[in-house]
Amino acid sequence: MAVQQPEMTYIITGDIEAMWLRDSSMQVLPYLRHLGDDTVSRAVRGLIRKQADLILIDPYANAFNRNGDFACYKKDHTKMGPYIWERKYEVDSLAFPIFLLEAYYEKSRDDTILTDRILQALETVIEVWKKEQNHAAESDYKFERDSESITETLENEGKGSPVGYTGMTWSGFRPSDDACQYHYLVPSNMLAVSVLRGLEKLPLSENLKKRAAELADEIAGGIRKYAVAEGPSGKGMYAYETDGLGNFNLMDDANLPSLLGAPWYGFCETDDPLYQETRKFLLSPENPYYFQGKYAAGIGSPHTPDGYIWHIGLIVQGLTASNDSEKAAILEALKNTNAGTGHMHEGFDPNDPGRFTRPWFAWADSMFCLLVEDYYHL
């Protein structure tokens, strides 16, 4: 973490020297219960301000460098700028800073956080999400990377595969930073609905609240109409992705926002029948990214080696569990799979937890803290 002037906080993701909007939001959530500490409060406020500034620099970027020195992951074919580390457009990169803002306000009731820059950032997010409801016709966003991996670039000259209008908002990439197969990424749209509706609780203009609520209703309507598919059981379940043209991707990825995490980030209740049917699929071998081994069973990601489970996936399973026994079992699995490092990792081999990716993955560490707080009712 670096404190920048004026009153800005820059937080790297861990073992990568860059700040992701999503990761940084999640990294500070466990600290919200300590806002009475002035140092903590200033750090969180500074992060919210920094995120707003970065969104205003480029709402299509997912990660930013510290000093505006053109440091970047790759020289991609897109509209790069001096502060952009990576410009993979992900709906959740705009949603999670709002999630953090709403969580901060709920804990602090500090309306001074709503500066002109933050209000401008909120307006920008709504404008982008509205535009991306009609991606092909209205958006100029493109992304291509010189890579042999299809998950690292967008097809169709950087515009992505075709989609139909649904009311949902388009995403180029998943929270794993992998390209979407179909570009209506359902859990990210669910999170967008949740944070847009959450703006009603903030002291904002009635006009802004009205536009946010209308957009939330349009996206939610699109989810209901276009994102429910027939699962292997013959019953309806949420798809992970769809294109609005009749194609569905039935899976889940451990990264948040996930389908599994929908109740945690406020889209639905845990006992919602459609969610429960989806959950049964997600936590079964029917999900192509659900893996089992000697030390754990849970959801992984195509972003990591085949068969690897993610600690974040296990944690989200615990946070959305309906009973303490399942939460306790998850905590025990987490304790037994950290490879003696004292840290959560990205993906790990459930038969040999000493084989893992990301030795310092701060987002996962913070999520572990949230599960402990939840289990012990802290």
Across all residues in the chain, what is the average pLDDT? Answer: 96
Q: How confident is the model at residue 362 (pLDDT cuts 50, 70, 90)?
A: confident
* 326, two tokens: 């399942």
pLDDT digits (tens, 9 = 90+) for 270-327: 999 999 999 999 999 999 999 999 999 999 999 999 999 999 999 999 999 999 999 9
pLDDT digits (tens, 9 = 90+) for 46-98: 999 999 999 999 999 999 999 999 999 999 999 999 999 999 999 999 999 99
pLDDT digits (tens, 9 = 90+) for 140-186: 999 999 998 999 999 999 999 999 999 999 999 999 999 999 999 99
pLDDT digits (tens, 9 = 90+) for 258-268: 999 999 999 99
Q: How confident is the model at residue 3 (pLDDT cuts 50, 70, 90)?
A: low
Torsional sign, CA 347, 352, 353, 357:
negative
Contact 238, 186 (CB under 8 A): yes
Q: Check residue 41 and give left, alpha or beta (phi > 0: left; psi -120 to 50: alpha).
A: alpha
Mean pLDDT score, 331-340: 96
What pLDDT is stored for residue 2 in this prediction? 63
Kindly write down the DSSP assignment for every residue of 132-180, as one continuous string.
GGGHHHH-----B---S-GGGS-HHHHT-S-----SS---SB-TTSPBP
CA distance 128 to 12: 25
